[in-house]
A and B are shown apart, each in its own frame.
Chain A
Amino acid sequence: MVTMTALEEELSRIAGAVLDPELPVLTLAELGVLRGVHVTGPGRVEVALTPTYTGCPAVETMSSDIERALHEHGVPEVSVVTVLAPAWSTDDISEEGRRKLAEFGVAPPRPQGPAGGPVPLTLAIRCPHCGSTDTELLSRFSSTACKALRRCIACREPFDHFKEL
């Protein structure tokens, strides 16, 4: 059992290091979408993945990327299953993930805290280019469903904001 766990931990690290196909600076572990890696038999591994949005088309690419990464590590049989519950939240993005998002030019989501708690609606969204908090919403939906389009009043640059979910 101990070696199994150690193996699963190692495989989790490999699967978690796969990059998000749409935000290729972020790993799946940092995005918080990897829900578990289980060795189900000799040379057989099942990976549980949760989508950010129900209709997120990146899930299929993520699945095949995980399969490839584990195959290259010598696991012949990999199956990736999609799980919906508990629902993914932007709070699942790690601190390192948030930092990388901002560096990539996408304003990270604001923390939401425990479910059902008060939502910090007034917290400002910072421009990832110049750092100003003086920004305005242009559209609730941007290049993907998980982002909103904003503009910085200070430097006038438009930018994506990973909206809170």
Chain B
Amino acid sequence: MSTPDTREAAVITGAALALGDDALVLSHRLGEWAGSAPVLEEEVALANIALDLLGQARVLLSQVGDEDELAYLREERSFRNVQLVEQPNGDFAHTIARQLYFSTYQRLLYGQLASGDGPFAGLAAKAVKEVAYHQDHAEQWTLRLGDGTTESHERMRRACDALWKYTGELFQPVEGLDVDHAAMESAWLASVTDVLGRATLTVPEGPRTGAWAAGAGRQGLHTESFGRMIAEMQHLHRSHPGAAW
């Protein structure tokens, strides 16, 4: 039997885990570019965006428990991030498409959370200003690649199409988040449609969920590459418990 108070605490913990895992996993994916980004400025930009996300993840996961234990010692099925953020970096266009879809969503989400007085309002008010720079970065690159050469246009189109089916999950309601998911989804669609249009790209036509329901990351069901990603992310800590520098 759980009392209303412990029930409420569990709901908030669940929401913190979902948002914290989104930030942690995308941070790790962006960190994978270190040493192999196309130009030095992007190396630095992607690492800085990753650092912002890692900062958010630390605050959120610390609301759940020990941040290191949560990041390094959980099994794949215990992660609650959306499948979009775990998708492999692919080429630079894939990374930018993932950034465009996710940063647009995160900016809307934090904007709504910041205007409320819930348990995430403080972090959201701070993070929304950081995420505005992430969205701007993704938007500028989408315009440049989409409205660039035939090759860059084609790669950006392929990337936007390939990741489209993971965008539906972003608007599956998360218990404990006092936000209007439907309003967020329509604002997201309008924003992404506007950027893609200016980038001479068309909005992908396919469904926004996969054939076997892409909307499963929040329930702990992840795509194939995620297991390899966390194996690499957790390897050092698992091999050398308590390692620090």
Contacts and interface: CB of A to CB of B under 8 A. Distances in A.
Interface in B16-34: none
B129 A165 contact: yes
Interface stretch (A4-12, A26-34, A83-91): A83-91
A139 B45 CA distance: 8
A140 interface: yes
Question: How large, as a class, is the contact surface on chain B?
Answer: 20 to 34
Nearest to B39: A139
Contacts of A40: none
B220 interface: no
Q: Among B51, B122, B127, B136, which residue has the most Cβ atoms of chain A within 10 A?
A: B51
B58 to A, nearest CB: 7
B137 A85 contact: no
Interface in A115-165: 138-145, 149, 163, 165
B123 A141 contact: no
Main DSSP-derived SS at the A contact region: loop
Interface in B36-64: 41-42, 44-45, 48-49, 51-56, 58-59
A57 interface: yes
A54 B136 contact: no
B54 to A, nearest CB: 5
A85 B117 CA distance: 12
A51 interface: yes
Contacts of A143: 44
A53 interface: yes
Interface string B112-128: 00000000011101110
B130 interface: yes
Nearest to A140: B137
Q: Among B41, B54, B137, which residue has the most Cβ atoms of chain A within 10 A?
A: B41
A149 B51 contact: no
A56 B54 CA distance: 10
A55 interface: yes
Given A57-B51, A140-B133, A141-B44, A85 B127 contact: no
B123 A149 contact: no
Interface residues of A, number: 23
B48 A145 contact: yes
B51 A145 contact: yes
B158 to A, nearest CB: 25
Given A55-B54, A57-B51, A84-B123, A165 B130 contact: yes
Given A54-B55, A144-B48, A163-B133, A85 B126 contact: yes
A55 B129 contact: no
A101 to B, nearest CB: 19
Nearest to B140: A140
Nearest to B54: A55
Contacts of A149: 41, 44
A144 B44 CA distance: 8
B49 A141 contact: yes
Given A54-B55, A55-B58, A87 B126 contact: yes
A86 B52 CA distance: 18
3 A-B pairs with least C-beta separation: A55-B55, A85-B122, A54-B55
Interface of A: 51, 53-57, 84-89, 138-145, 149, 163, 165
26 contacts: A51-B55, A53-B51, A54-B52, A54-B55, A54-B123, A54-B126, A54-B130, A55-B52, A55-B53, A55-B54, A55-B55, A84-B122, A85-B125, A87-B125, A138-B41, A139-B41, A139-B44, A140-B45, A140-B136, A140-B137, A141-B41, A141-B45, A141-B48, A142-B44, A145-B130, A165-B129
Interface of B: 41-42, 44-45, 48-49, 51-56, 58-59, 121-123, 125-127, 129-130, 133, 136-137, 140
